[in-house]
């Protein structure tokens, strides 16, 4: 656990009735002097060393996330794709369905 996370957790515990946004806690962290932050860095190093002693064979595995691609828009130009997405947002219909339902003239 890094120093900021330790600070954040303790800060929230000291002020249980208040709801702090991450921005507020970040501002408080940045306003602290290096000497005030040092305590949290020491705690962070102590926790990391303790974890290494308790779990000597631990190896971190990084998981690579793969984003799905929308097959419909894969071969589209960025401009066309953006126009179609905007159309869907405002009408809740796809352009293809709108074209299918053209009124017929007698």
**Percent of the chain with pLDDT strictly greater than 70:** 63
Same domain (yes/no): 50, 78 = no
CA nearest neighbour of 2 among 52, 41, 35: 41
Tell me how far apart the alpha carbons of residues 11 and 29 are, in angstroms, rounded to a whole number: 10
Assess if residue 40 is contained within a domain: yes
Q: Which domain holds residue 14?
A: 3-54
Q: For residues 40 and 18, which has the higher predicted lDDT (pLDDT)?
A: 40
- Residues near 4 by beta carbon (within 8 Å), at least 6 away in sequence: 26, 29, 40
pLDDT in tens, 1-25: 899 999 999 988 888 777 777 888 9
Angle at 77 between CA 76 and CA 82, to 5 degrees: 95
Q: For residues 90 and 65, which has the higher predicted lDDT (pLDDT)?
A: 65
How many structural domains compose the chain? 2
Assess if residue 27 is contained within a domain: yes
Same domain (yes/no): 11, 39 = yes
> pTM of the full predicted structure?
0.53
Assess if residue 63 is contained within a domain: no
């Amino acid at each position: 656990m890094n120093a900021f996370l330790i600070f954040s957790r303790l800060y929230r515990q000291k002020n249980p009735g208040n709801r702090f946004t991450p921005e507020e806690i970040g501002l408080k962290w940045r306003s602290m002097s290096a000497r005030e932050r040092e305590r949290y860095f020491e705690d962070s190093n102590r926790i990391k060393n303790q974890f290494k002693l308790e779990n000597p064979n631990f190896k971190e595995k990084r998981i690579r996330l793969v984003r799905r691609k929308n097959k419909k828009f894969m071969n589209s130009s960025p401009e066309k794709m953006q126009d179609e997405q905007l159309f869907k947002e405002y009408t809740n219909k796809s352009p293809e369905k709108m074209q299918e339902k053209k009124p017929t003239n007698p």
